[in-house]
Amino acid sequence: MTRPISAQELLRDQRGFSLIELLVVIIILGLIAGLVGPRLFGRVGQSKQATARAQIELFGAALDQYRLDVGAYPSSGAGLQALVQNPNVVAWNGPYLRKSPVPVDPWGRPYQYRCCPGDHGDYDIWSHGADGAPGGDGENTDVTSWEAR
């Protein structure tokens, strides 16, 4: 017959992880984070650029619909706001964007708009990228309606 095991014997027989084992696991996790993290964060900048390009294309489609209804693109003074709010135009049949107010760029700044004419076509729409200044490389590159990327 076996004798019952006491609580002290149970606690004595349980083993935990040693300090060395915990340090090895922490070092491995740190190495993985160090190798994978920068690659993931590099993709964030690329996805913001792609989002800005897609939004600019949607603005272009909305501006074309506005022009079909009104007969001209909104003036620079009316800006992209004319796509969601009537700028006192008789033939306005909007809103031409689903969201109101007009979306800002992925970096939280309003898109720039110039029209009638723009420097590069009937209208120009652009974002100055992450740095908010003209030009730049990588995530700071300007996203524009006139350059295909």
Give the global pTM: 0.68
pLDDT for res 37: 72
What are the CA-CA distances from residue 21 to residues 16, 18, 148, 149 (Å)?
10, 5, 53, 49
Position with higher pLDDT, 64 vs 6: 64
Contacts of 2-8 with C-beta under 8 Å, sequence gap 24+, read none
Percent of the chain past pLDDT 70, that is, above it, reads 86
| The domain over range 53-149 is classified in CATH as 3.40.50.12780 | no
Which of 7-16, 65-74, 124-133 shows the lowest per-residue confidence on average (mean pLDDT)? 7-16
Please determine, for residue 106, whether its predicted confidence score (pLDDT) is greater than 80.
Answer: yes
Q: Which residue has the higher pLDDT, 49 or 38?
A: 49
Q: Is 66 exposed, middle or buried (0-12, 13-18, 19+ CB in 10 A)?
A: buried
pLDDT of res. 10: 59
Does the pLDDT at position 62 exceed 60? yes
